[in-house]
Structure 1
Amino acid sequence: MKLLSQYLSLCWFRNNPANLVPSKSFMWKTVAFYLISGCIVEGLISDPADGSLEVFLRTVMAFSSVAAFLLVFKKWQYFDQLFIAIFVCENFIMTLATLTEGLYFIMVMNHQENAEEISIGIGALLVVWYIAIVSYILRQAFEVKMSLSVILAISYFILTYGIPMLFMDI
């Protein structure tokens, strides 16, 4: 539980992911939660089969992107710490996104007039927060300037979300 709280503190821009060493059990549980929560969220948005495929593609792209960044910056020894840091924070954001979808459903059922605008606003805020978190993690891990870490975080977001989404639209 202590390790989880240390990783979750990255969502509030505390700790350095390079200093956190996850156990194999923690890594598997994090990846399993990532896959399950991703499939639930995507299943609520689109059909479950397509959603599951997109989550699998996102996972492959996430691992590939992290590996590419680590190879470029010659910090391969931090692979476990970096991918777990990003996945734990993404799981946190995904949980908030699931709650946002639930809130949207409740607002629609209660005939809330601005339900769509509210949920889109919360979703946009979550995306910006997610990119800021990934930027922070990358800045801490690679010891680079903030501008470069933001560019890397946006690149990571495009690679892990944009490419699988593009593939699913083909």
Structure 2
Amino acid sequence: MTLLLKYLSLCFFINNPAELVPTKSFMWKVVWFYLISGFIVEGLISDPADGTLEVLMRAIMAFSSIALFLVMTKKWHYFNQLFTAIFVGENVIMTLAIAAEALDFVMVMNHYEYREEISIALGVLLVGWYISIVGYIFRQFFWYKIPVSLLIAFSYFVLTYGMPMLFMDI
């Protein structure tokens, strides 16, 4: 539980992820939560079969891009720590996305006039927070300046979310 709280504090830009060493059990739980929460969100947005495929492609892209980045920077030894830190952040954002989807459903059922604006604002807030979390993690691990960390985080976001979404549209 203490390890989880330390990882969750990364979402509020506290702690250094390079100092956190996850256990194998914790890493697998983080991955399973990532997959299940992704299946839920994508199942609410689109066809469950398409959503499942997209989440699996996102997971492959996430692991691949983290691995490729670490191989290129010759810091492979950070793989477990880096993917766990990023996935915990993604899990927090995905949990909030599930809540946002539930809120959207309630607003639709109640014919709330500004439902679309609120949903878009929540989506932008969550994506911005997600990129900030990942940027913070890269900054803490590799001592990059803030603009470089945010650029890498944005690139990671495009690779892990944009590429599978683009593939699904083909």
The TM-score bracket by the shorter chain reads over 0.9
**1:61 shift after superposition:** 0.3
**1:145 shift after superposition:** 1.0
**1:20 shift after superposition:** 0.4
In structure 1, distance between residues paired with 2:148 and 2:104: 35
Q: Tell me what 2:62 maps to.
A: 62
Q: Tell me what 2:51 maps to.
A: 51
Per-residue Cα deviation, 1:103-122 (whole angstroms, up to 9, x for no partner): 01111111110011101101
**1:17-96 counterparts in 2 under 5 A?**
17-96=17-96
Residue identity in the other structure for 1:66: I
Residue identity in the other structure for 2:58: R
Residue identity in the other structure for 1:91: N
Unmatched segments (≥5 aa) in structure 1:
none
SS in 2 for 1:111: coil
Q: Tell me what 1:138 maps to.
A: 138
Q: TM-score, normalised by structure 1?
A: 0.98
In structure 1, distance between residues paired with 2:76 and 2:143: 14
The ranges of structure 1 where at least 4 consecutive aligned residues each deviate by more than 2 angstroms after the TM superposition are none
Q: TM-score, normalised by structure 2?
A: 0.98
Q: Tell me what 1:13 maps to.
A: 13
Q: Tell me what 2:166 maps to.
A: 166
Q: Tell me what 1:98 maps to.
A: 98
Unmatched segments (≥5 aa) in structure 2:
none
In structure 1, distance between residues paired with 2:69 and 2:19: 18
SS in 1 for 2:64: helix
Whether contact under 8 Å (1:9, 1:15) holds in the other structure is: yes
Per-residue Cα deviation, 1:1-50 (whole angstroms, up to 9, x for no partner): 11000001000011111110111110111000000000110011000000
* Count of residues paired in the alignment: 170
**1:99-138 counterparts in 2 under 5 A?**
99-138=99-138
**1:72 shift after superposition:** 2.0
In structure 2, distance between residues paired with 1:72 and 1:12: 28
Per-residue Cα deviation, 1:54-73 (whole angstroms, up to 9, x for no partner): 00000000001111121122
In structure 2, distance between residues paired with 1:124 and 1:137: 20
